[in-house]
Structure 1
Amino acid sequence: MLENMLSELTGAGRFRGQMFIGGRWTTGSATGTFEVENPATEAIIGTIPEGTADDAAESLEAARQAQPAWAALPPFERARLIFALADAVKANDGTLARIVVAEQGKPLNQAMGEIGATETFLRFAAESARRIEGDIFPSDAPDEEVWIRRVPHGVVVGLTAWNFPAALATRKLGPALVAGNTFVLKAHEFTPFSGIALAMLAERVGFPPGVFNVVTGAGRTVGEALVTSPHSDLITMTGSTRAGKEIYRAGADRIKVLRLELGGKAPFIVMEDADIDAAVESAVAARFSNCGQICTCNERMYLHEKIADEFLDKLVARTQRLRIGNPLDDPDLGPKISRQERDKVEAIVAETVAAGAEALLRGGPLQHGDLARGHWYSPTILRVRDNTAPAMRQEIFGPVIPAMTVSDFQEALTLANDSDYGLSAYVYSQNLRRLMRSAAALNFGEIYCNRTSGELVQGFHTGWGQSGLGGEDGKYGLDGYFRKKTMYVNWS
């Protein structure tokens, strides 16, 4: 079934996706379909049902019915199925990676990396089954103890972004399930097929009906219905800050438990004592991977005045060697996800140049030769005058680097913190005091010191400010999929 799906997505036919609700495949109450485009070719590769509020309600009811029995299983019994799903992901990694390429456009080697992360998120969650802990405290009363138990929320709704359609799904699915919750996934309509593929594998390895459900459709219909329903207990979402604010408002009436991983505007600080060549390689990797469509990307640079010219010369030269092309040929950059997203990037660049920025490398939209179709954008490097330039304030989410010069470390820290966002930051320096100072002074949930981006599964991926609330990964991420129940046990 999975192989047939890939054949239709990449061949002459169109794959007709369905929703997976309560253990069955269905088009639900949808009367229309949403066309899914390959961003490298603009070809329509498949369709999904335009789900309705009724479909959202049906998926939540299926999850609600399945949840008590799922939660009653010993955690390691739940983990056995999560391990089995991880094994299935590994066994089908090439097929899953090509599905990601077809719907999202990232180069094949990067898609393989995403599927590796997809598997890792599941395995880490399953391995955590024997590490679920409670607490016992002495009471103030005789013959009494205070017990704190970790218990599941109930039904978890996962809303995922289009930039990592497979990995973001299992980043949420694994810990939610091992904690005893059931799960409803609403994948982004640009990239729904990775989530559908995961549901196919979950069905294959024997997940009980209703434990993992997938619904499709628009965020303003299906997504809103999932968020506002009285039958969804926790909402975990990865996406834009704008969408996060809408979910925050939509969940307010029912005081929803929310975990929101939103936009980022990561500063990349390079001091005069840094390993310049290593910093250049890191800056390139942290900006241009996935065509800059990563929330932890290098979004703005602060370069010490003593090394700024050398650094920028090397940065431009290294960037000019990047290859753009067919994602299946393993280039360095694939296309942007959509024409709208590509045009947004170009508008930010144009505004920044109009405000006085110097274009050290002026890329832009590409539309010729082998790239005559698709949403291509070549790398751009801008030298800006100050921190008010549009490219220094707005999340670009594309292959553009704005950079400015600073006179000392304190100025770099001050400018880095001058942002509404607080997800990730980078610091390159050989001075340990500076690194320790940055740990205290930078208002960001993640700080990469002398290394490029790429958080680890045992860490904690969390944003501050308008980059969100809650977090994912590691023991702290898992803890968010539990709520706590206090029992006063008296045996006098």
Structure 2
Amino acid sequence: MEVGMYINGAWVQSVQSARREIRNPANGHVVGTIPAATGEDAALAVDYAHAAFPSWSKMTAGDRSALLIEAGEIIKRRKHEIAEILTLEQGKPLAEAIGEVTIAADYLIWYGQEARRIYGETIPSSAGNKRIVVIRQPIGVVAAITPWNFPASMITRKIGPALAAGCTVVLKPADATPLTAVKLFEIFDECGFPPGVVNLVTGKGSVVGAEWLSNKKVSKIAFTGSTEVGKKLLEAASAQVKRMTMELGGHAPFIVFDDANLDEAVEACMVSKYRNAGQTCICANRVYVQEGVAEAFTGKLLEKVKQLKIGDGMEPGVEIGPLINEEARDKVLQQVDDAVGKGAVLLHGGKKWEPASAELRYGAFIEPTLLAHVDKSMEICREETFGPVAPIISFRTEEEVLAEANSLEYGLAAYAFTQDLGRSIRISEGLQYGIVGINDALPTVVQAPFGGWKESGLGSEGGRQGMDGFLETKYISVKMV
């Protein structure tokens, strides 16, 4: 699969003709090649997006809506084709990839509908000969930078509301997973988005991102990635007071109280912790279990973990694919070693998975891992893991676990399992996180806001709130003469 960048309605190569290979993280096979963009390529995409902005922003909401909904419907019809590319370049099981592509389509359809609901307001004036009107207008050119762990849905969650608001877009997908983006942009091209409205640039963030951060024609950056990188982008953007939406790192507490339905809590923990091999920002990273049920919960969870099937995501029945690269695997194993060295008990996994197939020995596989007797002195309780490791931490009281859950600078997602209504309200209001799932391991939906508190982000994506970051507010006072 040899592909190009999509700039001003055409598939193009880099001005320097350089290309790079994309490899399957499970077996090392070359999946495709892409252009390695230069700063000149990135600037050219912005120029075209800037030129297209006046006409796109003046297009009727109904016309923008129709294009977004059409794109979403086509993605749904082709979800298996797109999902196969996603699994080949990212590694997650095909069933998960199909689910992600479906959600990606839903974001476009949802925001296609929201395009018709950008409302202003009138305010009673203090003078009889004046009228006060507040309107909302698109911010301009939006530069979206997306991650490798969800290479379809993170694109549409950003560019869907941007396009619905009337902004034009330049997108840089993750270096490891650009081919999924190419498939989506093929559909945008087929739908007939005007030239310059959506643009795809493939290349290193240090090159493309640097150009967009310094380019005065870019009005906003929408970024998903690590907190460390997010802080650097925020600092660079401050030179121009560039608008930012950021979804950054997480360290989700998963709290199981002694009155919880343990079987349901175990199933939820499996979903929250081990999907995408633990490579999600909202994965359970600390599993707090109340003392009275800790042993029973851990035993039930252990039996489930032992049954997980590891392998190539294209193989039927596989539940755990490879990590994205060896560096990611080494980080996870280092956290496990640190925990065991400080007294944690390794119940399962904790080492590289050695496949029978020589072909799969290329992949950065790790056995799904379960640790018991974990405490806050261990690195895994402070640093994001991004791997299939569940650390069990016991607690005594509601007050104790709430304090521990809120003790980090992360504030993206949190989960709690209880059958006590009062406790569910107290804990959901007390958790300092942007997303809280009560008896729910999969709380994210397209119609609800997704965003982090503290150092886990700025602003929200998803839901009607996701439109706010792409619209400016204008107050108009009219004096009648």
- Fold similarity call, TM over 0.5: yes
Counterpart selection for 1:207 from 193, 216, 231: 193
Q: Does 1:250 align with 2:236?
A: yes
User: Where do residues 455-466 of structure 1 align in structure 2 (5 Å cutoff)?
Assistant: 455-466=444-455
2:83 aligns to what?
Answer: 97
1:226 Cα deviation after fit: 1.2
Partner amino acid, structure 2, of 1:81:
L
Runs of 5+ in structure 2 lacking a partner?
none
Contact 2:336 2:350 in 1 (8 A): no
Q: Does 1:394 align with 2:383?
A: yes
Contact 2:376 2:382 in 1 (8 A): yes
Q: Deviations over 1:226-270 (max 9, x none)?
A: 122101101101111111112111111111100000110000000
Partner amino acid, structure 1, of 2:184:
L
Partner amino acid, structure 2, of 1:382:
L
User: Where do residues 81-480 of structure 1 align in structure 2 (5 Å cutoff)?
Assistant: 81-330=67-316, 331-370=318-357, 371-480=360-469
1:7 aligns to what?
Answer: none
Contact 1:462 1:469 in 2 (8 A): yes
Cα distance in 2 for partners of 1:368, 1:286 equals 25
TM-score, length basis structure 1: 0.95
Cα distance in 2 for partners of 1:343, 1:35 equals 23
Counterpart selection for 2:63 from 77, 80, 88: 77
Cα distance in 2 for partners of 1:395, 1:226 equals 28
Contact 1:297 1:453 in 2 (8 A): no
Cα distance in 1 for partners of 2:332, 2:410 equals 18
Give 4+ residue runs of structure 1 displaced > 4 Å after superposition.
Answer: none
Contact 1:296 1:453 in 2 (8 A): no
Cα distance in 2 for partners of 1:394, 1:309 equals 25
Contact 1:179 1:481 in 2 (8 A): yes
Residue 366 of structure 2 aligns to a residue in which SS?
strand
Cα distance in 2 for partners of 1:439, 1:125 equals 28
1:438 Cα deviation after fit: 1.2
Cα distance in 1 for partners of 2:315, 2:374 equals 38
Partner amino acid, structure 1, of 2:3:
G
Partner amino acid, structure 2, of 1:397:
F
Cα distance in 2 for partners of 1:478, 1:63 equals 19
Cα distance in 1 for partners of 2:327, 2:30 equals 16
Partner amino acid, structure 1, of 2:299:
D
1:10 aligns to what?
Answer: none
Residue 359 of structure 1 aligns to a residue in which SS?
strand
1:224 Cα deviation after fit: 1.4
Residue 326 of structure 1 aligns to a residue in which SS?
coil
Cα distance in 2 for partners of 1:367, 1:102 equals 20
1:385 Cα deviation after fit: 4.1
Cα distance in 1 for partners of 2:287, 2:199 equals 42
Cα distance in 1 for partners of 2:57, 2:2 equals 33
Q: 1:103 and 1:475, CA in 2 relative to 1: closer, same or farther beyond 3 A?
A: same
Partner amino acid, structure 2, of 1:340:
E
Contact 2:369 2:388 in 1 (8 A): yes
Contact 2:436 2:443 in 1 (8 A): no
Cα distance in 1 for partners of 2:351, 2:129 equals 73
TM-score, length basis structure 2: 0.98
Residue 99 of structure 1 aligns to a residue in which SS?
helix
Partner amino acid, structure 2, of 1:33:
R
Q: Which moved more, 1:457-466 or 1:365-374?
A: 365-374
Cα distance in 1 for partners of 2:18, 2:90 equals 22
1:33 Cα deviation after fit: 2.0
Cα distance in 2 for partners of 1:368, 1:74 equals 55
